[in-house]
Structure 1
Amino acid sequence: MEIRQLENFIVVCKELHFTRAAEKLGISQPTLSQQIRALEDELDVPLFDRVGKKIRMTQAGALLLEHSIQMLRQLQNAQDSIAEFRSGQRGTLSIGALPSDMDYRITSLLVQFHAEFPKVKLKVVSSTDVLSQVLDNEVDIGIALTSAPDERLVQLPLSREEYVLVVSSKHEWADRESIPIQDLRRVQTVMFPEGFTGRDLIDNWSRKHGFTVETMMETASVTSIIRLVRANIGGTLIPYPLIQAMGDQEMRCIPIENDPPSRSFEIVYRADRFLGSPAQAFIRQTIDFFKNEPPVV
């Protein structure tokens, strides 16, 4: 049983189609089929049921897939560890983060990391599903909304953030020092579309208080939301640290009284993933970064 065989086996399991898998691997379909048959002969058990052109994994195939992924991950961990030892902390570190927070908040964190590890290539990937990126090994570390405990992950809490009402300095409520929850019934807003994490959080929170936030416009871009609010189309509800990071003097932040909506962040990585000193330093810097962000005033 060879590493290449297992790598090709995993691709067949994902595609469940020999021709597509062979195309993805850049080898011929007969060569791939021969490799899988060799595995089956060695293990003395069928790994796939073949029904015409369709295939599906057998129970033995599912077991081999689980162990193959673990073996290849351990091999990658060993290679990463040795590469760090040989290169003097070179290499690549990939980070998954929410789009708006990546755009406006963590630039200074990236600058700080580069100053300490100038030879490490840092890759930041924007995603609304950071946990899946981490679990699928698409990124090394994720900065994600707090989720339920998962034994596959190490989950370190970062911060809890309250949302505020953000309006233009020209808005009729711009001089308010705070706003009762029920007054939000009367404000027209610019928000993310339904189905976006931030919008769902606000909708669930407002329903708990017996109303629905009225939206005048919806857009998937936080930059567009801010421009529309600045143009006094309506207000919006955004986490306070995010609007603070934008540093826009034409915007006003109005705290919500008593029970404002909030979200919590965590930094996550796979429990079975090797993390070198650059990755460990990034985690420490990220915890310090979120700890030192300004509270709502």
Structure 2
Amino acid sequence: MDLRQLKYFVAVARERNFTRAAEQLHMAQPPLGRQIQLLEEELGVPLLLRNSRPLRLTEAGRFLFEQAVQVLNRIDQMAAETRRLGLNQQGTLSIGFVPSTLYGGVPILLRKLRQQHPKLDIRLVELSSIQQVEALRTGRIDLGFGRIGANDSAVARIVLREERLVLAMPATTPCTAKPPQPMWLAELADQKLIVYPKNPRPSFADQILALIEGCGVRPAEIIEVNELQTALGLVASEAGVCIIPASATFRADLRYRPIADLQATSPIIMCHRLNDDGWYIASVKKLVDELYRSAPTALGMGFPQFPGAAG
């Protein structure tokens, strides 16, 4: 098996058609078919079901396709990075993120990373937590920051912190205590609850729904929307209330109450490819540790002890 055969196989697997794959590769169809046949003979298993239109992958073919895409992407990245280093150009670090992490300590972390590595080209890619796993596997990103822990044998997860949750309410909600007093999840019974994102799932919405279900709370209605901004806009219009991370309390036209239940937290999770020994992983871990020790409050990393929270 060589890289050329893997490249040919990936083209056929993507196009599900030898003719289109051959055109894409700028080669004749017979030699392409022969290379795929040689690959199957070397592995001792069929990779394609040729009697179907379009072509279908066997289970072995699907596995090889997934692994081959990852290998080829990593080789492309390796070649590009080697050229950059040879030309004394800056390296590239691709980082996936879910939008809510940008309200907490992640932007500070990225600023520090840029300060320490001014020649590093940091590219940010907005992806859901689940999408980050696939992007890591294929080499599209090098690191990911999300809130959902996906069980994947190829991806390592590090919980950077557990962020407290708060309830966002319309500004017209009566509130005499200053600062607002913590509340219990049980107080959400019979209220209209807005959750996000609606897709893709599982998501932060599922975290919230599991949290309130675990407390035996039944809202009067559950409204699902796609984005945090949409959810908070609906709260402002008095369509319901919404549970959000404490770092996302940026709208001045809403009221916020911290949630006292100890389990009312949402993790900030950094993920990377398993066994990846890239320098950036150790560098980011060191920065996180330094930021925890130097400015936990500024990072929104404080863990306030709410009155009665232990009750």
Local SS of the residue matching 2:50 = strand
Secondary structure (helix, strand or coil) at the match of 2:189 reads helix
Contact 2:70 2:139 in 1 (8 A): no
Cα distance, 1:178 vs. partner? 1.5
Letter in 1 for 2:93: L
- Show the counterpart of 1:95: 95
CA shift in 2, pair 1:42/1:169, >3 Å: closer
Is the alpha carbon distance of 1:287 and 1:153 closer, same or farther for their aligned partners in structure 2, counting shifts above 3 Å? farther
Deviations 1:242-265 (A, max 9, x none): 32xx3x444333122334432223
Q: Per the alignment, in what secondary structure is the counterpart of residue 182 of structure 2?
A: coil
The more displaced of 149-158 and 196-205 is: 149-158
Distance 2:13 2:235 in 1: 48
1:254 aligns with 2:260: no
Per-residue Cα deviation, 1:33-58 (whole angstroms, up to 9, x for no partner):
34424545777876534215454456
Q: Which residue of 2 aligns with 1:211?
A: 217
Q: Which residue does 2:245 correspond to in 1?
A: 239
TM-score (norm 1): 0.77
Select the residue among 160, 169, 172 that pairs with 1:170: 172
Deviations 1:190-249 (A, max 9, x none): 332656522222222222222223447543121122233344443211011232xx3x44
Conservation of the 8 A alpha-carbon contact between 2:73 and 2:138: no
Root-mean-square deviation (Å) = 3.7
* Match of residue 122 from structure 1: 122
| Alignment deviations for residues 248-291 of structure 1 (CA, whole Å, 9 cap, x no partner) | 4443331223344322232111124452x455434543565577
Give how far 1:69 is off.
Answer: 5.8
Matched residue, 2:230: 224
Alignment of 1:29-108 (within 5 A): 29-30=29-30, 32-37=32-37, 39=39, 47-51=47-51, 53-57=53-57, 68=68, 72=72, 75=75, 79=79, 82-83=82-83, 85-86=85-86, 90-102=90-102, 106-108=106-108
Q: Does 1:140 align with 2:176?
A: no
Report deviation, 1:166.
1.8
Contact 1:146–1:157 under 8 Å retained in 2? no
**If the length of structure 2 is used for normalisation, what is the TM-score?**
0.74
Q: CA separation of 1:77/1:261 partners in 2, compared to 1, >3 Å: closer, same or farther?
A: same
1:6 to 2:17 alignment: no
Deviations 1:4-56 (A, max 9, x none): 23212123234443244345546554553344245457778765342154544
Residue identity in the other structure for 1:269 = H
Amino acid at match of 2:157: Q
Distance 2:78 2:133 in 1: 24
Q: 2:184 pairs with 170, 180, 183, which one?
A: 180
1:198 and 2:204 are equivalent in the alignment? yes
Find the aligned partners of 1:290 and 1:27 in 2 and give their Cα distance.
Answer: 56
